Structure 1
Amino acid sequence: MRKMNQSLVTEFLLLGLSRQPQQQQPLFLLFLIMYLATVLGNLLIILAIGTDSRLHTPMYFFLCNLSFVDVCFSSTTVPKVLVNHVLRSQTISVSGCLTQMYFLCLFADMDNFLLAVMAYDRFVAICHPLHYTTKMTHQLCAQLVAGSWVIASLNVLLHTLLMTRLSFCADNFIPHFFCDVTPLLKLSCLDTYLNEMMILTEGSLIIFIPFVCILASYIQITCAVLRVPSTRGRWKSFYTCGSHLAVVCLFYGTIISLYFNPSSSHSSGKDMAAAVMYTVVTPMLNPFIYSLRNRDLKRALWKAFLQKHIF
């Protein structure tokens, strides 16, 4: 018998990070500080790159896009957490929940693709330096970013449409601080086999293909760096690669543990910690790891502030 594609639940209740009253205020302050740091850090990166013509290169073009995506990524979840705390409300409509899930997955996919694109850019710069300007053209850079947006949008649209076919007719409590795929599937009163299979197959390809490309790029980079005669040059390259790979491991490790493990292995505490890491902590750390220690960016920021008479 065919089921009606209509939800019997009109709203969900987001239980948040903790149900302990004494922990609510510290968590609110912590999330507020991390969100402000994320927005400020990434906007400063965008400002510096946009105002300094010397930074209009492929590497900084991708970095600017990553900063924009990270601001949007955090803004998808954290403001809702802060507003719920201020208003003493935990409710979110079904349509609002699916919308939040759509944009969350969209920006997560974009982070995924941009990390791979940035790794490829570094591969070309280090392994083929003489051909860098001819390979990494402005047209190619724009096509890589535009293609990432298209693929990410189509992928997320597929999973969102599959979610809309489900009905939620039982418990409407989500033991999370945002609407995520896994908690929603657990609340469905229809069979979620198709949703889970698409996550494990098509979703796996979206995650693992860029991840493999990153690993392949950095294996080639490592081999090229080891051939550099200067010890200082090798150390500088390894330092930069190590920082990038640390973020890659943090991002992909939490994603894989959340979405590509059997349902029986999930626990609310571990899922919550992993979700905080990739939705809040990683976007906050990216400006520090990729940019704020970069001498060219610091110089561009200082120049921008002086021109605007901020100091």
Structure 2
Amino acid sequence: MNNTHEHIQTPMRTIPCTTILAVLLCMATFSLHAKGGAPPTNHPPGNGMDVETIKLRLEMMDCPVKAVYNKDVAAYLRSYLTYGYKGTERMLGQGKILFPIFEHYLEMHGMPKQLKFLPMVESSMVPYAVSYAGAAGLWQFMPATGRHLGLINDRYLDERKDPYRSTEAAVKYLKKLYKRFGTWELALAAYNCGPTRLSRTIRASGSKDFWKIKNKLPRETQRYVSRYIAACYTGTYYNLHGIQPKTPAEYHLQPMAARVYSSVSLTGVAVATGVDVSVLKTLNPSFKATYTPGRANGIYLVLPRNSWYDYLDSKNKYAGSVAAQP
């Protein structure tokens, strides 16, 4: 996949006070241009659905699973690129903010960068998404899975909805599943239906070939890898189909994150920075309320770039309350 990003890299600023309060911005840089590898077209959405052309692109596409073309892949491509194109434009617009975060953690753990498209399948790139079964966040963790992965979920916070913490947890979990099952097809299947269920199916069938055992898996899992292939294709070649990502309003705020160790009141942050509480809630979807107590391991607080300086100035008297991201 020939994906290139231009990044807005804002240098770390040191606040002159009795202690150094620094905000590391490397994990909160944002691409100016969504990828695609070819100049955008002026064609209406859905253009270029020639099957042979799509098959050729799939063969050329960088993807951690074998990018097959089957009826499920075709159906999901029609959804992403034709009648559901508005949703795709919204998802890829969100990617301007979220893809750099995903890429950071994937690269940190030596994982395929194309896994950044998995939240298109899981949550349609909505950080606060909650399923009917209770799965939440970009990576759709169930409460028990989130706890197992060390994500806080109490009366104040649900870190399943935190793009930073949930992504780090998801990447570590996917890496563990890949190490256990040996292929990305099986790792993705295990992510969807659970490793125990997949292991039982493998033992019963005597095969570790996902495509041979998929019909013995839950219905959603049978189509999961195909849906991921379609998402990967869409994220790679969207501009050849007339898809134009819709930049979310918060992108223009240039949101940046830092780990905060003291208690946080979004109301207090609003007073200090002049940013409306509703905007702060949008930028911090893990907050269940407007207040959270301090945490020994810290939490991620996201603010507009220009608002960090006002916030840090208001916190100068609290030494060590804000630290650089790892």
Shorter-chain TM-score above 0.5: no
Decide which structure has greater helix share.
1
Shorter-chain TM-score tier = under 0.3
Greater relative contact order (Cα < 8 A, sep 6+): 1
